[in-house]
Amino acid sequence: MIRVNNNYILKYSLLFTSVIILINIITFSVFADSELNISGKITNQTINGSDVEGVEIFLHVSDLSGQILDTKKTLSDFEGGFSFQYRVINSDNVNFSVFVEYQGVIYSNIIQSEAVEDIKINVYDSITDDSIIGISSNSILFSDVDLITKKISVLEMVNISNSSDFTYIPDDSPMSLIRFSLPDSWENLQVDSNLLQAQVLQVDLGFALMTNIPPGVHEILYSYEILYEGNEYIFDRSIPYGIDSIKIFILPELMKLNGIPFDSSETIEFNQKSYSIFEVKNLVKGSDFQYELVGLPIASFTDNLRNNIINIHFEYMSSIILILLLIIAPFYVLIKKRGNNIINN
């Protein structure tokens, strides 16, 4: 018979439990006391630009869903250097973003938790002269035509460029905003951009972006619809900035292009459709550009009738049936009466 020593078991159970608790405390302390040194340097890339001492730098700490958990602020030293000491439990569960506001423009750098040192943020002196702004390319794609609603769907992509070492900022004049011309009768405008904090404003001849343009090439993508009458539509747009190249993509089975001095040089397949491409180069700032879509489809009487039948609302169906019965019933009675008269005679 084996005799169990309860005191012995209790003693070692308590010892084991104490060790586990101690390990957890040590582990928690290690994570809780984990401190990151988030540091870097601001550099002004403008030749002979202003110094970067005393610039406000903001650190945003967010969770993986993007929700801001904490914000800290510091000032750069005389060489543009900065550092944050941040205590974190688990750096794998947070993201860090550094923002700098320099001469009215925000510059940012989103960093990974394993690369929080030697962060480089380039800034530039600001200027209000829009002569440094140009369009390197503008692609216009006519993606679809709805002959029933008489709407043309258009997708445009613009690469706006700033080849200087200054950041362009608009002044108080509305004409200093980055403007884009749209054709008449446009609707359902959607705009997307990789520019930081860009806001879209509707203006008389199209839309404008309230944003700054740092050096480099930046993509603006926008779509809209236009209404047309007949089988043609004339595009007449102003060129507020010089454009190196405009490419127009059309669906040759639905439309033709007039007013372009070049024939289509190539075709491409996009979204299971075949497009013909026309290109115009070197449009001067302040000029006008006009071309015409012809051969647009026109809905026939049969097309409209079929569309009206398909789009009948069910709540109106009983009323329509009643109206038809009221129209048909007298004719039916008249025809039946004549038939009876013929039989009787």
Q: 35-44 and 119-123 as β-strands: parallel, antiparallel, unpaired?
A: parallel
Residue 126 CA from chain centroid, whole number: 25
Tell me, which fold does domain 130-294 have in CATH? Immunoglobulin-like (2.60.40)
| Residue 146 half-sphere exposure toward CB, CA atoms < 13 A | 11
Q: How far apart are CA 42 and CA 107, in angstroms?
A: 10
| Residue 29 half-sphere exposure toward CB, CA atoms < 13 A | 6
Q: 186-193 and 178-181 as β-strands: parallel, antiparallel, unpaired?
A: unpaired
Architecture (CATH level 2) of domain 34-124: Sandwich (2.60)
* Cross-strand partners of 216: 162
pLDDT given for residue 300 in this prediction: 60
293: closest CA among 255, 253, 321, 267?
Answer: 255
What is the biggest distance separating any 2 CA atoms in the chain, rounded to whole angstroms? 125
- Which of the 8 DSSP states describes residue 177? S
End-to-end CA distance of the chain: 125
The token pair at 230 is: 């007949």
Phi, psi of 175 (to 5 degrees): -70, -10
Q: How far apart are CA 98 and CA 88, in angstroms?
A: 17
Look at phi and psi of residue 256 and say left if phi exceeds 0, alpha if psi is from -120 to 50, else beta: beta
pLDDT given for residue 27 in this prediction: 46
Q: Could you give the C-alpha distances from 45 to 6, 67, 240, in angstroms and in order? A: 76, 32, 28
Q: 68-75 and 56-63 as β-strands: parallel, antiparallel, unpaired?
A: antiparallel
pTM of the model: 0.72
pLDDT given for residue 86 in this prediction: 82
Q: 266-270 and 232-238 as β-strands: parallel, antiparallel, unpaired?
A: unpaired
The token pair at 329 is: 């019933």
Amino acid (1-letter code) at residue 57: I
Question: Do 204 and 85 touch, CB atoms closer than 8 A?
Answer: no
Residues of the chain with CATH 2.60.40.1120: 34-124
Residue 188 DSSP SS3: strand
Sign of the dihedral defined by the CA atoms of residues 47, 52, 56, 57, in that order: positive
Using only C-alpha atoms, what is the Rg of the chain? 35
pLDDT given for residue 28 in this prediction: 43
Residues of the chain with CATH 2.60.40.3680: 130-294
- Which of the 8 DSSP states describes residue 228? -
Q: How far apart are CA 305 and CA 294, in angstroms?
A: 25
**For every one of its 345 residues, what pLDDT tens digit does the chain have, with 9 covering 90 and above?**
444 455 544 455 555 555 455 545 444 444 445 678 889 999 999 999 999 999 999 998 888 777 888 899 999 999 999 999 888 766 667 788 899 999 989 998 887 766 778 889 999 999 999 999 999 999 999 988 888 888 999 999 999 999 999 999 998 888 899 989 898 888 899 999 988 778 899 887 889 999 999 999 999 999 999 999 888 899 888 888 999 999 999 998 888 888 887 666 688 888 788 999 999 899 998 888 889 999 888 866 554 455 555 555 555 556 656 666 677 767 666 666 666 666 665
pLDDT given for residue 327 in this prediction: 72
pLDDT given for residue 340 in this prediction: 62
